[in-house]
Amino acid sequence: MTTTLVDHRRGLNLVGFAFCAGLLAFAVYLEYVQGLEPCPLCIFQRIAFVALGLVLLVAGLHAPRRWGGRVYAVLALLAAALGVGLALRQLWLQSLPPDQVPACGPGLGYMLETFPLTQALQMVLTGSGECAQVDRFLGVSIPVWTLAAFVLVGVGGVLVNWPARRR
């Protein structure tokens, strides 16, 4: 009898959670030790990693069967897709010529305190100059790393949790 990813569902979900937690810890390190101030899109990407990590943690603790696995697969896909969209948006902003980069806006805290949530979200997704700043890790833009991580963990979360067809 061959083993599949689903046979190791609990452990693999917990590995996915640990990976997300490690990425978040690294983001905190970059912010507080290296002095890289996160832009609003970076903060939203962190929130997407929190959501993805929590889905994988609960899936790992629950170790669901058929339908439960599908629910976790869809939730992981949604959280990862949100992160992919945010990372792609930031990469697009970073690719703009300097004269087309939007002006820097107010900080995220100010936006959330001053404006209705929908307007604050619209302002963040519209982007600002600070989101177009390119910070690199190992020579690669950080949003490229986050994009790759969202794809890797999202696809992994779906493959691990979506039950195989019965034969």
Domain residue extents for the chain: 5-161
Give the pLDDT confidence score for residue 80 in this predicted structure: 96
Kindly report the backbone phi and psi dihedral angles of residue 141, in degrees, each rounded to the nearest multiple of 5, phi listed first.
Answer: -55, 135
Of residues 123 and 45, which shows the higher confidence score? 45
Measured in degrees and rounded to the nearest 5, phi and psi for residue 104 equal -65, 135
**pLDDT tens profile 126-147:** 665 566 666 766 777 888 889 9
The H or E element containing residue 25 is helix 9-32
Residue with tokens 């992919």: 84
Upper half-sphere CA count for residue 35 (Cβ side, 13 Å): 0
Q: State the pLDDT confidence band at 1, using cuts at 50, 70 and 90.
A: very low
Q: What is the pTM of this model?
A: 0.78
* CATH superfamily to which 5-161 belongs: DsbB-like (1.20.1550.10)
Tokens standing for 121? 């979200």
Which residue type does 131 have? C
pLDDT, residue 105, reads 60
Whose CA is closest to 128, among 150, 100, 153, 149?
100
